[in-house]
Amino acid sequence: MKEKIYLSSPHMGGSEQTYVNEAFETNWIAPLGPNVEQFEIAIENYLGSNNHVAALSSGTAAIHLALIMLGVERDDEVICQSFTFSASANPIMYQSATPIFVDSEPDTWNICPHHLEEAIKDRISNGKKPKAIIAVHLYGMPYKVDEVRKISEKYEIPVVEDSAEALGSSYKGQKCGTFGDLSILSFNGNKIITTSGGGALVSRNLKHKEKAIFLATQARDAAVHYQHSEIGYNYRLSNISAGIGRGQMEVLDKHVGLRRDMNQFYKDIFQNTAGVQVFNEPNADYFSNHWLSCILVDRKTSGFSNEDIRLAMAENNIECRPLWKPMHLQPVFKNAPYYGDKVSEQLFEIGLCLPSGSNLQNEEKVKINDILIHLIEK
Ligand SMILES: *Cc1c(COP(=O)(O)O)cnc(C)c1O
Protein backbone atom coordinates (compact mmCIF):
# COMPACT_ATOMS: atom_id res chain seq x y z
CA MET A 1 0.00 0.00 0.00
CA LYS A 2 1.25 3.45 -0.92
CA GLU A 3 2.05 5.82 1.95
CA LYS A 4 -1.15 7.71 2.76
CA ILE A 5 -1.29 11.47 2.26
CA TYR A 6 -3.44 13.04 4.96
CA LEU A 7 -5.54 16.17 4.92
CA SER A 8 -3.58 17.59 7.83
CA SER A 9 -1.16 15.66 10.01
CA PRO A 10 1.01 16.57 13.02
CA HIS A 11 4.24 18.34 12.10
CA MET A 12 6.87 18.47 14.82
CA GLY A 13 9.42 21.27 14.82
CA GLY A 14 12.24 19.59 16.73
CA SER A 15 12.32 20.84 20.32
CA GLU A 16 9.02 19.26 21.42
CA GLN A 17 10.84 16.12 22.57
CA THR A 18 13.28 18.19 24.65
CA TYR A 19 10.43 19.77 26.64
CA VAL A 20 8.70 16.43 27.08
CA ASN A 21 11.97 14.91 28.33
CA GLU A 22 12.30 17.79 30.79
CA ALA A 23 8.90 16.88 32.18
CA PHE A 24 10.10 13.30 32.73
CA GLU A 25 13.42 14.34 34.23
CA THR A 26 11.75 16.68 36.72
CA ASN A 27 8.81 14.29 37.33
CA TRP A 28 6.20 16.88 36.36
CA ILE A 29 3.91 14.19 34.95
CA ALA A 30 0.68 15.98 35.88
CA PRO A 31 -1.89 18.47 34.66
CA LEU A 32 0.32 21.27 35.97
CA GLY A 33 3.99 22.18 35.84
CA PRO A 34 6.57 24.39 34.10
CA ASN A 35 5.60 23.38 30.55
CA VAL A 36 1.98 24.41 31.16
CA GLU A 37 3.06 27.83 32.42
CA GLN A 38 5.62 28.35 29.66
CA PHE A 39 3.20 27.22 26.96
CA GLU A 40 0.65 29.74 28.22
CA ILE A 41 3.27 32.49 28.22
CA ALA A 42 4.33 31.58 24.66
CA ILE A 43 0.74 31.89 23.43
CA GLU A 44 0.22 35.13 25.39
CA ASN A 45 3.34 36.62 23.79
CA TYR A 46 2.22 35.45 20.37
CA LEU A 47 -1.28 36.91 20.64
CA GLY A 48 0.03 40.13 22.22
CA SER A 49 -2.09 43.05 23.43
CA ASN A 50 -2.58 41.84 26.99
CA ASN A 51 -4.15 38.47 26.42
CA HIS A 52 -4.41 35.89 29.17
CA VAL A 53 -4.37 32.19 28.34
CA ALA A 54 -5.58 29.16 30.30
CA ALA A 55 -4.29 25.90 28.80
CA LEU A 56 -6.98 23.20 28.80
CA SER A 57 -7.49 19.59 27.80
CA SER A 58 -9.33 20.48 24.56
CA GLY A 59 -10.92 23.24 22.54
CA THR A 60 -14.30 21.69 23.33
CA ALA A 61 -13.58 22.03 27.06
CA ALA A 62 -12.63 25.68 26.45
CA ILE A 63 -15.98 26.38 24.76
CA HIS A 64 -17.79 24.59 27.59
CA LEU A 65 -16.05 26.71 30.23
CA ALA A 66 -16.67 29.87 28.20
CA LEU A 67 -20.42 29.17 28.20
CA ILE A 68 -20.40 28.42 31.94
CA MET A 69 -18.50 31.65 32.61
CA LEU A 70 -21.07 33.59 30.56
CA GLY A 71 -23.81 32.14 32.74
CA VAL A 72 -25.40 29.84 30.16
CA GLU A 73 -27.85 27.55 31.95
CA ARG A 74 -30.72 25.17 31.29
CA ASP A 75 -33.18 26.42 28.63
CA ASP A 76 -31.06 29.44 27.74
CA GLU A 77 -30.54 30.10 24.04
CA VAL A 78 -27.10 30.37 22.44
CA ILE A 79 -26.53 31.44 18.85
CA CYS A 80 -24.00 29.37 16.93
CA GLN A 81 -22.63 29.47 13.40
CA SER A 82 -24.24 26.50 11.63
CA PHE A 83 -21.34 25.89 9.24
CA THR A 84 -18.78 24.45 11.66
CA PHE A 85 -17.48 21.33 13.36
CA SER A 86 -19.90 19.88 15.92
CA ALA A 87 -17.53 20.75 18.77
CA SER A 88 -18.59 24.41 18.43
CA ALA A 89 -22.18 23.52 19.30
CA ASN A 90 -21.98 20.46 21.57
CA PRO A 91 -21.12 22.43 24.75
CA ILE A 92 -24.44 24.29 24.38
CA MET A 93 -26.09 20.90 24.90
CA TYR A 94 -23.79 20.06 27.84
CA GLN A 95 -25.45 23.05 29.56
CA SER A 96 -28.94 21.83 28.56
CA ALA A 97 -29.33 25.07 26.62
CA THR A 98 -30.77 25.45 23.10
CA PRO A 99 -28.59 26.13 20.06
CA ILE A 100 -29.93 28.67 17.56
CA PHE A 101 -28.12 28.12 14.27
CA VAL A 102 -27.26 30.91 11.86
CA ASP A 103 -26.17 30.56 8.23
CA SER A 104 -22.91 31.75 6.64
CA GLU A 105 -22.22 34.57 4.19
CA PRO A 106 -20.35 33.75 0.97
CA ASP A 107 -17.25 35.99 1.48
CA THR A 108 -15.68 34.27 4.52
CA TRP A 109 -18.07 31.28 4.80
CA ASN A 110 -18.63 32.34 8.42
CA ILE A 111 -21.60 33.65 10.41
CA CYS A 112 -23.75 35.99 8.31
CA PRO A 113 -24.22 39.35 10.12
CA HIS A 114 -27.60 39.88 8.43
CA HIS A 115 -29.04 36.54 9.54
CA LEU A 116 -27.37 36.93 12.93
CA GLU A 117 -29.30 40.13 13.59
CA GLU A 118 -32.48 38.61 12.19
CA ALA A 119 -32.09 35.68 14.60
CA ILE A 120 -31.45 37.93 17.60
CA LYS A 121 -34.47 40.11 16.85
CA ASP A 122 -36.71 37.10 16.37
CA ARG A 123 -35.55 35.35 19.54
CA ILE A 124 -36.05 38.55 21.56
CA SER A 125 -39.53 38.99 20.12
CA ASN A 126 -40.23 35.37 21.11
CA GLY A 127 -39.37 36.35 24.66
CA LYS A 128 -35.76 35.16 25.09
CA LYS A 129 -32.59 37.10 24.49
CA PRO A 130 -29.72 34.78 23.47
CA LYS A 131 -27.00 34.49 26.11
CA ALA A 132 -24.04 34.27 23.72
CA ILE A 133 -22.96 34.22 20.07
CA ILE A 134 -20.49 31.52 19.00
CA ALA A 135 -18.69 32.79 15.89
CA VAL A 136 -16.12 30.62 14.13
CA HIS A 137 -13.09 31.42 11.93
CA LEU A 138 -13.66 28.32 9.80
CA TYR A 139 -10.70 26.80 7.96
CA GLY A 140 -8.64 29.66 9.41
CA MET A 141 -10.58 32.40 7.60
CA PRO A 142 -11.49 35.27 9.94
CA TYR A 143 -15.22 35.94 10.24
CA LYS A 144 -16.55 39.46 9.63
CA VAL A 145 -15.17 40.67 12.94
CA ASP A 146 -16.31 44.32 12.84
CA GLU A 147 -19.85 43.50 11.73
CA VAL A 148 -20.30 40.73 14.31
CA ARG A 149 -18.88 42.88 17.09
CA LYS A 150 -21.21 45.75 16.19
CA ILE A 151 -24.25 43.48 16.51
CA SER A 152 -22.90 41.98 19.73
CA GLU A 153 -22.53 45.47 21.22
CA LYS A 154 -25.88 46.72 19.91
CA TYR A 155 -27.78 43.88 21.61
CA GLU A 156 -25.30 43.41 24.47
CA ILE A 157 -24.74 39.73 23.77
CA PRO A 158 -21.17 38.47 24.33
CA VAL A 159 -19.20 36.69 21.60
CA VAL A 160 -17.42 33.37 22.11
CA GLU A 161 -14.77 33.44 19.40
CA ASP A 162 -14.10 29.88 18.20
CA SER A 163 -10.56 30.25 16.90
CA ALA A 164 -9.85 26.50 17.02
CA GLU A 165 -8.84 26.49 13.36
CA ALA A 166 -7.39 30.00 13.20
CA LEU A 167 -4.27 30.32 15.37
CA GLY A 168 -1.92 32.39 13.18
CA SER A 169 -4.73 34.11 11.24
CA SER A 170 -5.47 37.80 11.65
CA TYR A 171 -8.01 40.48 10.83
CA LYS A 172 -6.87 44.07 10.16
CA GLY A 173 -3.49 43.09 11.59
CA GLN A 174 -4.89 41.76 14.89
CA LYS A 175 -4.50 38.07 15.72
CA CYS A 176 -7.50 35.73 15.71
CA GLY A 177 -8.10 34.48 19.23
CA THR A 178 -8.23 38.05 20.57
CA PHE A 179 -11.63 39.21 19.32
CA GLY A 180 -14.21 37.52 21.50
CA ASP A 181 -15.45 38.41 24.95
CA LEU A 182 -13.96 34.97 25.47
CA SER A 183 -11.92 33.18 22.81
CA ILE A 184 -10.84 29.59 22.38
CA LEU A 185 -8.05 27.69 20.65
CA SER A 186 -7.56 24.00 19.85
CA PHE A 187 -4.38 21.94 19.68
CA ASN A 188 -5.90 18.69 18.47
CA GLY A 189 -3.80 16.41 16.27
CA ASN A 190 -4.95 17.86 12.96
CA LYS A 191 -4.90 21.56 13.86
CA ILE A 192 -2.30 24.17 12.87
CA ILE A 193 -0.26 23.22 15.94
CA THR A 194 -0.85 20.19 18.13
CA THR A 195 -0.24 19.06 21.69
CA SER A 196 -1.67 15.65 20.66
CA GLY A 197 -4.85 16.96 22.27
CA GLY A 198 -5.46 20.25 23.99
CA GLY A 199 -7.03 23.67 23.89
CA ALA A 200 -7.04 27.06 25.54
CA LEU A 201 -9.35 29.77 26.74
CA VAL A 202 -8.16 33.29 25.94
CA SER A 203 -9.34 36.55 27.46
CA ARG A 204 -8.25 40.17 27.85
CA ASN A 205 -9.28 39.86 31.49
CA LEU A 206 -6.91 38.12 33.92
CA LYS A 207 -9.88 37.20 36.14
CA HIS A 208 -11.30 35.10 33.30
CA LYS A 209 -8.07 33.11 33.09
CA GLU A 210 -8.11 32.53 36.85
CA LYS A 211 -11.75 31.50 36.79
CA ALA A 212 -11.15 29.09 33.88
CA ILE A 213 -8.26 27.42 35.72
CA PHE A 214 -10.35 27.23 38.90
CA LEU A 215 -13.22 25.49 37.07
CA ALA A 216 -10.81 23.28 35.11
CA THR A 217 -9.22 21.94 38.30
CA GLN A 218 -12.38 20.78 40.10
CA ALA A 219 -13.33 24.19 41.54
CA ARG A 220 -11.48 23.86 44.82
CA ASP A 221 -12.17 26.64 47.31
CA ALA A 222 -9.23 28.24 49.14
CA ALA A 223 -9.02 25.83 52.06
CA VAL A 224 -6.48 23.27 53.31
CA HIS A 225 -9.06 20.51 53.06
CA TYR A 226 -11.03 19.83 49.88
CA GLN A 227 -14.01 22.16 49.84
CA HIS A 228 -16.26 22.99 46.89
CA SER A 229 -18.96 25.62 46.46
CA GLU A 230 -19.25 25.13 42.70
CA ILE A 231 -19.25 22.19 40.31
CA GLY A 232 -15.79 21.72 38.83
CA TYR A 233 -14.29 19.98 35.84
CA ASN A 234 -11.09 18.09 35.08
CA TYR A 235 -10.13 20.15 32.05
CA ARG A 236 -6.53 21.26 32.64
CA LEU A 237 -3.78 20.49 30.10
CA SER A 238 -1.14 17.91 30.99
CA ASN A 239 2.44 19.06 31.48
CA ILE A 240 3.55 16.43 28.93
CA SER A 241 1.18 17.78 26.27
CA ALA A 242 2.18 21.35 27.08
CA GLY A 243 5.81 20.37 26.38
CA ILE A 244 4.79 19.47 22.83
CA GLY A 245 2.93 22.78 22.63
CA ARG A 246 6.02 24.77 23.66
CA GLY A 247 7.99 23.26 20.80
CA GLN A 248 5.11 23.83 18.38
CA MET A 249 4.86 27.54 19.23
CA GLU A 250 8.48 27.94 18.06
CA VAL A 251 7.52 26.85 14.53
CA LEU A 252 3.96 28.22 14.33
CA ASP A 253 4.68 31.10 11.96
CA LYS A 254 6.86 28.91 9.75
CA HIS A 255 4.05 26.35 9.53
CA VAL A 256 1.47 29.04 8.74
CA GLY A 257 3.75 30.09 5.86
CA LEU A 258 3.89 26.50 4.60
CA ARG A 259 0.08 26.13 4.79
CA ARG A 260 -0.27 29.34 2.83
CA ASP A 261 2.16 27.92 0.26
CA MET A 262 -0.19 24.93 -0.08
CA ASN A 263 -3.04 27.32 -0.82
CA GLN A 264 -0.93 28.98 -3.53
CA PHE A 265 -0.07 25.51 -4.86
CA TYR A 266 -3.78 24.83 -5.47
CA LYS A 267 -4.36 28.31 -6.91
CA ASP A 268 -1.62 27.60 -9.45
CA ILE A 269 -3.13 24.24 -10.37
CA PHE A 270 -6.65 25.61 -10.85
CA GLN A 271 -5.79 29.07 -12.20
CA ASN A 272 -7.13 28.34 -15.69
CA THR A 273 -9.87 25.93 -14.67
CA ALA A 274 -13.31 27.46 -15.15
CA GLY A 275 -15.74 26.24 -12.49
CA VAL A 276 -13.17 25.63 -9.74
CA GLN A 277 -12.65 28.31 -7.14
CA VAL A 278 -9.92 28.08 -4.48
CA PHE A 279 -11.20 29.61 -1.23
CA ASN A 280 -9.36 32.81 -0.46
CA GLU A 281 -9.40 36.02 1.57
CA PRO A 282 -12.07 38.47 0.32
CA ASN A 283 -9.70 41.45 0.76
CA ALA A 284 -6.50 42.61 2.48
CA ASP A 285 -8.22 43.01 5.89
CA TYR A 286 -8.24 39.22 6.15
CA PHE A 287 -5.19 37.01 6.66
CA SER A 288 -5.95 33.28 6.81
CA ASN A 289 -3.55 30.65 8.12
CA HIS A 290 -5.16 28.45 5.43
CA TRP A 291 -5.37 25.63 7.94
CA LEU A 292 -7.16 23.67 5.23
CA SER A 293 -7.24 24.63 1.57
CA CYS A 294 -10.75 24.30 0.17
CA ILE A 295 -12.28 24.50 -3.29
CA LEU A 296 -15.76 24.92 -4.70
CA VAL A 297 -16.52 22.93 -7.84
CA ASP A 298 -19.26 23.91 -10.26
CA ARG A 299 -19.52 20.64 -12.16
CA LYS A 300 -21.55 22.08 -15.02
CA THR A 301 -18.66 24.38 -15.88
CA SER A 302 -15.70 22.22 -14.90
CA GLY A 303 -16.98 18.89 -16.21
CA PHE A 304 -16.15 17.07 -12.96
CA SER A 305 -17.53 17.25 -9.42
CA ASN A 306 -16.04 17.60 -5.95
CA GLU A 307 -16.84 13.91 -5.44
CA ASP A 308 -14.95 12.98 -8.65
CA ILE A 309 -11.87 14.66 -7.17
CA ARG A 310 -12.34 12.98 -3.80
CA LEU A 311 -12.63 9.53 -5.39
CA ALA A 312 -9.67 10.02 -7.76
CA MET A 313 -7.53 11.05 -4.80
CA ALA A 314 -8.81 8.23 -2.57
CA GLU A 315 -7.82 5.72 -5.26
CA ASN A 316 -4.27 6.96 -4.77
CA ASN A 317 -4.49 6.83 -0.99
CA ILE A 318 -4.80 10.60 -0.68
CA GLU A 319 -7.29 11.98 1.82
CA CYS A 320 -9.76 14.70 0.81
CA ARG A 321 -12.89 15.55 2.75
CA PRO A 322 -16.22 17.27 2.15
CA LEU A 323 -16.65 20.62 3.87
CA TRP A 324 -18.26 20.58 7.33
CA LYS A 325 -21.87 19.50 7.16
CA PRO A 326 -23.90 22.38 8.61
CA MET A 327 -25.23 21.80 12.13
CA HIS A 328 -28.83 22.58 11.17
CA LEU A 329 -28.68 19.57 8.81
CA GLN A 330 -27.34 17.22 11.49
CA PRO A 331 -29.80 14.62 12.80
CA VAL A 332 -28.79 15.38 16.37
CA PHE A 333 -29.75 19.07 15.99
CA LYS A 334 -32.85 18.59 13.83
CA ASN A 335 -35.11 20.40 16.31
CA ALA A 336 -32.92 23.46 16.74
CA PRO A 337 -34.12 26.76 15.24
CA TYR A 338 -32.22 27.97 12.17
CA TYR A 339 -31.95 31.33 10.42
CA GLY A 340 -30.48 31.39 6.95
CA ASP A 341 -30.60 31.22 3.25
CA LYS A 342 -28.94 27.96 2.09
CA VAL A 343 -25.42 29.45 1.79
CA SER A 344 -23.80 26.82 4.02
CA GLU A 345 -25.91 24.07 2.43
CA GLN A 346 -24.60 25.06 -0.98
CA LEU A 347 -21.00 25.18 0.27
CA PHE A 348 -21.40 21.69 1.72
CA GLU A 349 -22.85 20.50 -1.56
CA ILE A 350 -20.05 21.63 -3.89
CA GLY A 351 -17.00 22.09 -1.64
CA LEU A 352 -13.98 19.93 -0.86
CA CYS A 353 -10.99 20.13 1.51
CA LEU A 354 -7.65 19.20 -0.05
CA PRO A 355 -4.44 17.94 1.61
CA SER A 356 -3.06 21.02 3.35
CA GLY A 357 -0.37 19.92 5.81
CA SER A 358 2.72 22.01 6.42
CA ASN A 359 4.76 18.80 6.12
CA LEU A 360 3.85 17.68 2.60
CA GLN A 361 6.94 16.62 0.65
CA ASN A 362 7.73 17.62 -2.92
CA GLU A 363 7.06 14.16 -4.32
CA GLU A 364 3.68 14.15 -2.56
CA LYS A 365 2.81 17.50 -4.11
CA VAL A 366 3.86 16.18 -7.53
CA LYS A 367 1.50 13.24 -7.03
CA ILE A 368 -1.40 15.49 -6.05
CA ASN A 369 -0.65 17.85 -8.93
CA ASP A 370 -0.60 15.00 -11.47
CA ILE A 371 -3.95 13.60 -10.35
CA LEU A 372 -5.65 17.01 -10.43
CA ILE A 373 -4.15 17.99 -13.80
CA HIS A 374 -5.24 14.63 -15.21
CA LEU A 375 -8.81 15.29 -14.06
CA ILE A 376 -8.80 18.84 -15.40
CA GLU A 377 -7.53 17.75 -18.82
CA LYS A 378 -9.80 14.72 -19.19
C1 LIG B 1 -11.31 21.28 16.46
C2 LIG B 1 -12.39 22.24 16.67
C3 LIG B 1 -12.98 22.44 17.92
C4 LIG B 1 -12.71 21.59 19.11
O5 LIG B 1 -11.41 21.46 19.49
P6 LIG B 1 -10.92 20.11 20.22
O7 LIG B 1 -9.58 20.53 20.76
O8 LIG B 1 -10.82 19.06 19.17
O9 LIG B 1 -11.87 19.78 21.30
C10 LIG B 1 -13.95 23.42 18.04
N11 LIG B 1 -14.33 24.17 17.00
C12 LIG B 1 -13.81 23.99 15.78
C13 LIG B 1 -14.28 24.87 14.67
C14 LIG B 1 -12.84 23.02 15.56
O15 LIG B 1 -12.35 22.82 14.34
- pLDDT tens string 312-365: 999 999 999 999 999 999 999 999 999 999 999 999 999 999 999 999 999 999
The answer to whether the CB of 339 falls within 8 A of the CB of 327 is no
358 lines ligand 1 (CB under 6 A): no
Could you give the C-alpha distances from 233 to 126, 210, 217, 366, in angstroms and in order?
Answer: 34, 14, 6, 47
Rounded Cα–Cα distance for residues 268 and 286 (Å)? 21
Please name every residue paired with 202 in a beta bridge, in sequence order, or none if there are none. 53, 183
| 62 CA from centroid of ligand 1 (Å) | 9
Give 261-320 pLDDT, tens digit per residue. Answer: 999 999 999 999 999 999 999 999 999 999 999 999 999 999 999 999 999 999 999 999
Q: Identify the CA nearest to 164 among candidates 139, 130, 131.
A: 139
Which of 188, 193, 294, 325 to probe ligand 1 with, by most ligand atoms within 8 A of CB?
188
| pLDDT score, position 65 | 98
Distance set, CA 181 to CA 54, 141, 198, 234, 324 (Å): 15, 19, 21, 23, 25
Domains belonging to the chain, first-starting first, are 16-251 (3.40.640.10), 253-377 (3.90.1150.10)
| Res. 3 pLDDT band, cuts 50 70 90 | confident
- In whole angstroms, give the CA distance from residue 84 to residue 90: 11
- Does ligand 1 have an atom closer than 6 angstroms to the CB of 194? no
pLDDT class of 185 with cuts at 50, 70, 90:
very high
Give pLDDT tens digits for 123-143.
999 999 999 999 999 999 999
Cα-to-centroid distance, 196 and ligand 1 (Å): 13
Which candidate, 320, 344, 322, places its Cα nearest to that of 333? 344
| Enclosing H/E stretch for 164 | none
d(Cα 88, Cα 232) in Å, to the nearest integer? 21
State the pLDDT confidence band at 369, using cuts at 50, 70 and 90: very high
Contact 337, 78 (CB under 8 A): no
> Of 131, 175, 191, 211, which is the active-site residue?
191
By most ligand atoms within 8 Å of CB, the mutation choice from 88, 167, 233 for ligand 1 is: 88
Vertex 335, ends 332 and 339: CA angle to 5°? Answer: 110
Q: What is the pLDDT of residue 2?
A: 63
Nearest CA to ligand 1 atom 14: 164
Rounded distance from Cα 84 to ligand 1 centre (Å): 9
Q: The whole model's pTM is what?
A: 0.97
Q: Is 191 a catalytic residue?
A: yes
- Does residue 85 line the site of ligand 1, with CB under 6 A? yes
Q: Are 66 and 181 in contact (CB under 8 A)?
A: no
